[in-house]
Amino acid sequence: MIKYINETTEYLLNKGFDTPEIGIILGTGLGKLLDEVTILHEVSYNHIPYFPTATVEFHKGKLIYGELEGKKVIVMQGRFHLYEGYTLQDITYPVRIMEKLGIHTLLVSNASGAVNLDFKPGELMLIDDHINLQGGSPLAFKGVSKLGERFTDMSAPYNPEINSKFKAIAKAQNITLHEGVYASMVGPQLETRAEYRMLKILGADAVGMSTVPEIIVANHLNLKAAAVSVITDQGDPDNLHPVNISEIINMAAQAEPQMITLFKALIKSL
């Protein structure tokens, strides 16, 4: 993997991806943050050596380098998921590349379903902690200790300092920002009534199919990491309705302006 990382990094350096500070992974329906970025360079995933390719129709597939609020950023327009058939190492490979290029902070967004029924569709949740229910670890491979501490500490996987800034910004901007625990499932099927009950018992506030692998690797690489979920639907096991994916994407789009406000103000403060 070290050989692959070095080759990929060299390719991107030759494309002008020079000394970025912050990496951003855009989740479902949250692509308009790119309208705020002064794009300097962009490369399709399928042109980058050893990079996976996004296969979900509403996830784009570009790595973008530019400036946002005076900071050099790398933006992943489209992310990878276990349910697409990738390994956890594939999914997190871009995080390793962004760190090798120079980022010190990773910011992640996603769409999730509320397990905590006090959280309403269209609202945002700052992730304070997570439960990994994906059945594996992106660090479980031979030679991982050459890339970082094998037994990575996860006592505070979401940077408390960044989370405090997010909360202060939300309060100042009058944005509803819940704080809670995110559970990550494999997918792509949605949760059953029994699974929603299980998640509630486990202490999850929201559930999705992403983010946790990237956050684990960010901690493995000693990056500061933070993540915000858009609540797109509610998983009420006593009143569960069929989920419409287009409605989920539309709900994420409705919440997008608030997410952009949060991310821009945070990046400015870093």
Residues 15-63 have pLDDT tens digits of 999 999 999 999 876 788 999 999 999 999 999 999 987 555 555 689 9
Of 23, 36, 68, 21, the C-alpha closest to 256 is 36
- pLDDT tens column, 106-134: 999 999 999 999 999 999 999 999 999 99
How far is 134 from 153, CA to CA, in rounded Å? 19
Q: Which residues of 233-258 are buried (b: 16+ CB within 10 A; e: fewer)?
A: bbbebeeeeeeeeeebeebbbebbeb
Task: Round to whole Å and give the CA distance between 231 and 62.
Answer: 25
The CATH superfamily of 2-269 is Nucleoside phosphorylase domain (3.40.50.1580)
Nearest residue to 246 via CA among 28, 90, 83: 28
